[in-house]
Structure 1
């Protein structure tokens, strides 16, 4: 099933965006009368029929809506984006596939990246939603400082921070017990968090330092591993 994406306001207006319309008509050769499947990234899939093809958009007639349940647990990844854009895009793509609900890019003392392109990130996330058929698009924020982190977290959550140093006692991620529906995972830059940053997360966020692998992982790999292992822990918790 070929899946298209439309923002809620586009669904209300019964249209596909110019980009999605171009893909439907020019690439997939869709014609008037053809059925299309559309998601809004909020758990809804709409079945529609193309009733008019215009220069900049396709006009639709939506005749069915399917609503999919959201996971009871939310995985939130707060991560220092890697400098390499391809690695960052790879992390974003896999975050969608693994059901991450929120991505919070953070700027740390050792961060190599000082800004991110939100528009590009949104396009990567939307593309991954369409490819993976995960009907929930993660929310992504602009780059924030460590001190701003508490403002972006839900009221109730548990938190873990991946750390390679020996200054703090650490727990294996596989031994963490799921105690909240909101799970925040902190991933540092290539040079890792500084001890002061980990101390801040422990004191201000009540983060638990963890090890996620016996090997040293790249930032994007650590973020993906966090998401995958948290999914496993959640599934075991729900049994």
Structure 2
């Protein structure tokens, strides 16, 4: 993992929390050493370590840079609530692949219902540190009934006949692409029967993929098709 840290700006200083302070100690950094810190909103701080406490580190800001890279089109991922370990893998890889927004919804076949986003936010921070992603994707809960309002919805449906390639060829330089992934148990018949007509239903082929694999595969295709990472 690169020695880059996540911190919060307050009163002209940068503060590292308990977890980041532990990371700092593991890599044996000391007071007066210089480190790079980011806040998840695109700010990159070159800092000098001022004080290392038991559960907090205070840093003096030397220089501030702004991360301006954008990845187009915007890709939003809607994930049906599933087992946390599998969702964690998916979210880690979506962050590395520069997804813009992540929304978690409870499907009719979801076996879990999450009340807090804190574990997912921690996953985003760790994955962003590993991949030096300075602009965190937004993550929030979402209601299934609100899907009718999203832009360019592509739903992964095992019963569909169309392919992702065919659908992407019909989209004319979209600003936003919305991918809807069912929970690990899939969509219910009722959910599929009530999907609006304008949704693009796609099948990923004749290979059976696990929940997280299907999401990573789809995101990778979108990056390749739109040349997003260059």
Per the TM superposition, whether the score is higher than 0.5 is yes
Unaligned runs of 5+ in 2: none
Q: How many matched pairs?
A: 225
For normalisation by structure 2, the TM-score amounts to 0.87
Distance 1:217 1:41 in 2: 32
Confirm or deny that 1:21 pairs with 2:13. no
Partner of 2:175: 181
**CA distance 1:55–1:112, shift in 2 (3 Å):** closer
Q: Determine the structure 2 residue equivalent to 1:75.
A: 75
For structure 1, which segment, 217-226 or 189-198, has the greater mean C-alpha deviation from structure 2 after superposition? 189-198
Residue 226 of structure 2 is matched in structure 1 by 234
Partner SS state of residue 122, structure 1: helix
Q: Is the 8 A contact 1:10 1:16 kept in 2?
A: no
Counterparts of 1:223 and 1:10 in 2: how far apart (Å)? 37
3-state SS of the aligned residue for 2:40? coil
CA–CA separation in structure 1 for the residues paired with 2:101 and 2:188: 24
Instruction: Deviation per CA, 1:159-197: give whole Å up to 9, x if none.
Output: 11110115xxx3211231343111100111234223442
**2:192 matches 1:198:** yes
1:96 Cα shift? Answer: 0.6
Q: Assess, with a 3 A threshold, how the Cα gap between structure 1 residues 96 and 11 changes in structure 2: closer, same or farther.
A: farther
Aligned residue in 2 for 1:165: 159
Give TM-score scaled by structure 1 length: 0.84
Greater percentage in helix = 1
Instruction: Supply the distance in 2 between the matched residues of 1:31 and 1:45 (Cα, whole angstroms).
Output: 20
* Structure 2 CA distance for aligned equivalents of residues 70 and 225 of structure 1: 21
Partner of 1:93: 92
Q: Aligned-pair distance for 1:34?
A: 0.6
CA distance in 2, matches of 1:228, 1:216: 17
The CA deviation string for residues 123-180 of structure 1, in whole angstroms up to 9 with x for no partner, is 11100000111222121113x43113456x4xxx3111110115xxx32112313431
Structure 2: how far apart are the matches of 1:225 and 1:202?
24
The question of whether the paired residues in 1 share the 8 Å contact of 2:72 and 2:226 is answered with no
